[in-house]
Each structure stands twice: as C-alpha cells, then as structure tokens.
C-alpha cells in the first residue's frame, strides 16, 4: 500500500478549500487514489489542526487523520491578491470543492456563475449544512445538530439511556462520501458533454438519506422508531449478547440463517419453535428468544464462539475496542494500517486490481507547499515573496 503507484485518479487536479471533516474526508479519498489535491487553507489554517490533544508537532490527530496525500498552501481569500492566486490555480484544475457558507464566493466575486464562464470544464462541489435556499438555507451545520434534527438521536439509545448521539461523526463522513460520489459522477458526465457543473451535498439531506430503515418504516406504517438500544427494529436476533468472556454481536438476516444458528449452538429446537420460526415471530417474542440465546452463549468464550460461527457462515463478531480492531490478525493480513515515517493511518477501503491506492505524502504542515505549488503555476521566487509579504499568500507560520 505504501509504494508509489498510478492510482485511478492520477492526473486529476483538485483545489480543496474545505476545512474540518466532510470536505477533507472527501478529498482524502481522491488523494489516496492518485489525485493531486492542493489544500488551500485560510491564514489561521484548518481549525482541526488545533482539535487536540493528541498532537504531532502541533497538528492534532483529528486533522492528521483526514489530510494525507495532500499539498498545503495558505491563501487569504478575503484579499483580492489571494483570490487572484486561486483563479490561477483553477485554470488548470478539474475540481473545486469548498464548504463556505452559501453566498460567500458570490460576495467575493467568484461565485458559480463566474466560475462557469471562466472554467467551463470545472466541476464545482459545495458542501454545506442545509443548502443555499429554503427556510434554513445558509444556516451553519454541525454533525451532532444534524443527527438531532434528522431523527438519528431520537432513534439511537435504549429506554434506559434515552436518546443518544451516535459516537462516530457519521453525518460529516457520509456527506464526504456522497460528495466524492457526486464529483465522480460529474466527471463521468463531463466525458460526454465536455462541461463541468455545480453540485452540492448537504449535511441535512445526507442525514435524512442515511436514516434507513427508519424512514422506510415510517413511510409504510406512520410510526417513528422506538429506542431499542442495540436491537434491530426489523430483525431478531440482531443485537449484543454476553458470553463467558466478552460481548459478541449476532446478526441474523433470515429464517434459514436462524435455524442454522440454532443448530450450530446445539439448540436446533429453537429453529422450529413456533415462537421463533419466522422473523415476525421472533420480533413478537424477542425477549423470550434473548433469554434462550443468552443462556447458551454464557457457556462459551467470545472469540472461539465467533470464530466457530463465522467459519460456519454465520454473522457474528466480538465487540472490540479500536486497539483490538487495529491490531487483529485480519487487519494486519489485509494491510489495513499504513505507515510512512512518523505517520500511521487506516488504508483506503477501495481495493482495485491495478489502480491501487497509495500513501505518497504524510499530512502537510500549514502552507508547506506554497513555493512548490506556485512555482508549478508559473510564479517566480520574487513574485511568491511579494505575495507572502502582502499577506495574500501565507508563509509557513499560521496566524492565530
């Protein structure tokens, strides 16, 4: 994974004006697969550089985790000189991605209409909280707030815990994934039309889109979900169970699988018991089934039991902490942890036969590549020095 290779996105140039998580997550996907991502940061830098501890040389792990394989240049886009440099960068770019508040680029005189006229082949992607129109158009968006507003928090947790935020920033990350998909769709369409286009992904619409099966259930029966903890609203058993050593998760998707599970754990009669024979029966009698399964699982150790069930083709897994997940034999065998110099990260999960992802560059220091990038775009050393002196372009020192 760490040797230089030609990735599927090699030759693609991306100008990345995004900060925090959704946008950087999107552009790291493209960068991992060979895109030349130029990360344009404001004079104070991407704020997640300060979201620690832990830190590596004053950059937080939060920033480091989503910014590998990119080059950084600092620009003050509030200045005319900074915007002029950006327009020069865009002249040779395929993609612009930004997450400014809708209307910001228009106020700077470089909105989508201007960009479309100057750079007709440019794909312009905007990530925002709610979009630019509607009652909440232009409002700021944050992962946890969107979780609250789209029904995620109300559907997460148990009757004992009450509603709970999902512990991973799933809205931000999924918005980044949708943005990457949208960019690739627009690039594919450009091959036919010869034209770029504007596209937008919003945190709010992403939050609604990933509320499956809760939205589908609501459209069908008109009832919001109950708090079921680790239980699935549509499948039983699909939950955490204790064993003699640790917890495991069992997920059963159909009646045949349940009968196979019952046989494998030495309780074949559960598979034909009228209370449990079909999924709708198991849902109606989930507590009785939980007691039956818990009594059996308590006789086993978690790891041996899961290994046995998985070997039999049954969905089961131990409930592991992140240190266990990153160090287990399968993770190591698959090369899922990549390293270069001081850096460690999780490899791209997109595996291609020929166009492999690679770790070419560690996450950049602030404005680390300013001279290198501007020289590639025809700026002389004297011009670069003058831009830095004027404040339009940032040197390696961040303004705080």
Catalytic residues: 172
CA distance 22 to 174: 8
SS3 169: coil
Give exposure, 14-48, as e/b (b: 16+ Cβ within 10 Å).
bbbbbbbbbbbbbbbbbbbbbbbbbbbbbbbbbeb
Contact 217, 223 (CB under 8 A): yes
**Two tokens, residue 378:** 């025809």
Contact 78, 86 (CB under 8 A): no
Contact 357, 32 (CB under 8 A): yes
Tell me which H or E stretch contains 202. Answer: strand 198-202
Residue with tokens 């960009």: 115
CA distance 74 to 347: 27
DSSP 289-339: HHHHHHHHHTTS-HHHHHHHHHHTT--EEE---HHHHHHSHHHHHHT-EEE
Q: Where are the alpha helices (DSSP H) in 194-268?
A: 203-209, 214-221, 255-264
**392-394-395-400 Cα dihedral, nearest 10 degrees:** 130
Closest CA to 200 of 18, 10, 11, 41: 18
CA distance 392 to 82: 4
Instruction: Examine residue 85 and say whether the peptide bond preceding it is cis (omega within 30 degrees of 0).
Output: no
């Amino acid at each position: 994974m760490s040797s230089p290779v030609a990735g599927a996105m090699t030759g693609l140039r991306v100008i990345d004006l995004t900060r925090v998580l959704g946008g950087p997550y999107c552009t790291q996907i493209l960068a991992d697969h060979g895109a030349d991502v130029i990360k344009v940061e404001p004079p104070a830098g991407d704020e997640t550089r300060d979201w620690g501890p832990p830190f590596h040389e004053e950059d937080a792990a939060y920033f480091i985790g989503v910014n590998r394989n990119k080059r950084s240049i600092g620009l003050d886009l509030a200045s005319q000189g900074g915007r002029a440099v950006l327009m020069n960068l865009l002249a040779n770019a395929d993609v612009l991605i930004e997450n400014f508040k809708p209307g910001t680029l228009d106020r700077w005189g470089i909105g989508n209409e201007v960009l479309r006229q100057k750079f007709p082949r440019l794909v312009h992607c905007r990530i925002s909280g709610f979009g630019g129109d509607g009652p909440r158009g232009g409002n700021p968006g944050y992962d946890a707030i969107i979780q609250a507003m789209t029904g995620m928090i109300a559907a997460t947790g148990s009757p004992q815990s009450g509603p709970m935020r999902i512990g991973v920033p799933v809205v931000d990350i999924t918005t980044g994934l949708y943005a990457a998909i949208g960019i690739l769709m627009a690039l594919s369409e450009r091959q036919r039309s010869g034209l770029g286009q504007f596209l937008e992904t919003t945190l709010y619409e992403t939050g609604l889109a990933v509320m499956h099966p809760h939205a589908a259930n609501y459209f069908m029966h008109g009832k919001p979900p109950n708090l079921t903890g680790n239980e699935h609203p549509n499948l039983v058993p699909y939950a955490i169970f204790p064993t003699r050593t640790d917890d495991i998760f069992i997920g059963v998707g159909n009646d045949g699988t349940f009968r196979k599970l019952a046989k494998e754990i030495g309780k074949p009669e559960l598979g034909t018991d009228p209370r449990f024979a079909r999924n709708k029966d198991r849902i109606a009698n989930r507590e009785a089934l939980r007691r039956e399964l818990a009594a059996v699982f308590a006789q086993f150790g978690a790891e041996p039991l899961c290994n046995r069930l998985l070997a039999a083709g049954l969905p089961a897994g131990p409930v592991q902490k992140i240190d266990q997940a990153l160090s287990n034999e399968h993770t190591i065998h698959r090369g899922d942890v990549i390293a270069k110099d001081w850096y460690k990260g999780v490899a791209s999960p997109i595996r291609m036969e020929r166009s492999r992802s690679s770790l070419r560059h560690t996450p950049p220091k602030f404005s680390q590549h300013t001279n290198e990038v501007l020289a590639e775009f025809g700026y002389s050393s004297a011009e670069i020095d003058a831009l830095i002196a004027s404040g339009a372009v940032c040197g390696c020192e961040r303004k705080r």
